[in-house]
Amino acid sequence: MCALQKRKVVVEMNLQGRHFLKLLDFTTEEIQYLIRLSAELKEKKENRIAHQELSGKNIALIFEKTSTRTRCSFEVAAHDLGMHVTYLDPGGSQIGKKESIADTARVLGRMFDGIEYRGYGQEIVEELAQYAGVPVWNGLTNEFHPTQMIADMLTIQEHLGRLEGVKLVYMGDARYNMGNSLMVACAKLGMDFTACTKQTYFPDQALADTCRQIASQTGASLTFTEDVKEAAAGADVIYTDVWVSMGESDDVWKQRLEDLRPYQVNADVMALAKKSAIFMHCLPAFHDLKTAIGRQVYEKFGYQELEVTEEVFESSQSVVFDEAENRMHSIKAIMYATMPR
């Protein structure tokens, strides 16, 4: 698609003033537009074409959960667009503690042109959006991770040349933000989504039913299976995420590691997929002993590699760093598209 055609697409799809809380709120065409816009803005940055279309705007980043990729992506993207950023770390905001979510939203909405939230329950970011009066962007909640999805779909498009009909297999705990969001994204975009894990870790039934309804209109398919060979056979994308989180008890870790160990992404799993298949992970990943958590897990449970092996993570099929870079381009597109002019 030529540059002129891309600019025409940007003009035709008006999302200004919209919140970006979950992909369920957006049509297939709107999601496709954000992916195309991400690619266009990426091309501009690579060619050093200035795009400070939001110069003079101010945004607030509320991080109740810290993150390397999300924070850096929002900050670099905002600066590229000409905006100023205020970062509120877990100790820098009184949200929900000394000040209600609604009051925090109304205060920040008077000072900033947009607000990002990364933290816990989806209800928090939804309430922020209800009261802020400016666009609110979900940087991650327990239930959804929509900014990651635009980056992931851009990455798949770049490497496979298509989205529709792509078979994406998610291995591991599919009950939370990544499993949920990938299932929604695949349903919206006509892709074949498979959650491969122990039945206990299948996605929420109500959300799965909603996605099946969407899939019936887009040509997507949803499969939930405990069988690794069945799931990985003919896959275009093998995707996984971390199995453990800080703050959980040793008993929880022990049980989850035992349950999910058969769903580790290793060379045998990748061999079942297509030769052209790619490996994806939203990061951070526990594939060696070079992190404090990795060493802690090894000392307590004896596992040197968790959700993915070092061999796969460092292989030519791994696109995890392309994926990480695309977080910045996609977040830029989301802010650009939704920020009122």
Alpha-carbon gap, residue 6 to 3, rounded angstroms: 5
* Cβ neighbours of 159 (radius 10 Å): 17
User: What is the third-level CATH fold of 167-235+237-272+278-316?
Assistant: Rossmann fold (3.40.50)
Rounded to the nearest 10°, the torsion over CA 263, 269, 270, 273 is -110
The answer, yes or no, to whether the previous bond of 284 is cis (omega within 30 of 0) is yes
| CA angle, 32 then 116 then 238, to 5° | 45
Distance from C-alpha of 290 to C-alpha of 118, rounded to nearest angstrom? 26
Better pLDDT: 274 or 251: 274
Tens of pLDDT, residues 276-325:
999 999 999 999 999 998 999 999 999 999 999 999 999 999 999 999 99
Residues marked as catalytic: 118, 145, 148, 241, 282, 327
pLDDT value of position 6: 43
Q: What is the pLDDT of residues 15-32, one digit of tens each?
A: 999 999 999 999 999 999
Q: What value, to the nearest 5°, has the Cα angle with vertex 232 and ends 230 and 237?
A: 150
Q: Which residues belong to CATH 3.40.50.1370 in the chain?
A: 3-145+325-338, 167-235+237-272+278-316
Predicted model pTM: 0.94
Q: Place 90 in a pLDDT band, splitting at 50, 70 and 90.
A: confident
Q: How confident is the model at residue 12 (pLDDT cuts 50, 70, 90)?
A: low
Task: Please tell me the total number of residues recorded for the chain in this structure.
Answer: 341
CB 289 within 8 A of CB 295: yes
263-281: average pLDDT: 98
Q: Does 53 have pLDDT greater than 80?
A: yes
> May I ask the CATH class of domain 3-145+325-338?
alpha beta
- Does residue 8 have a pLDDT over 90? no
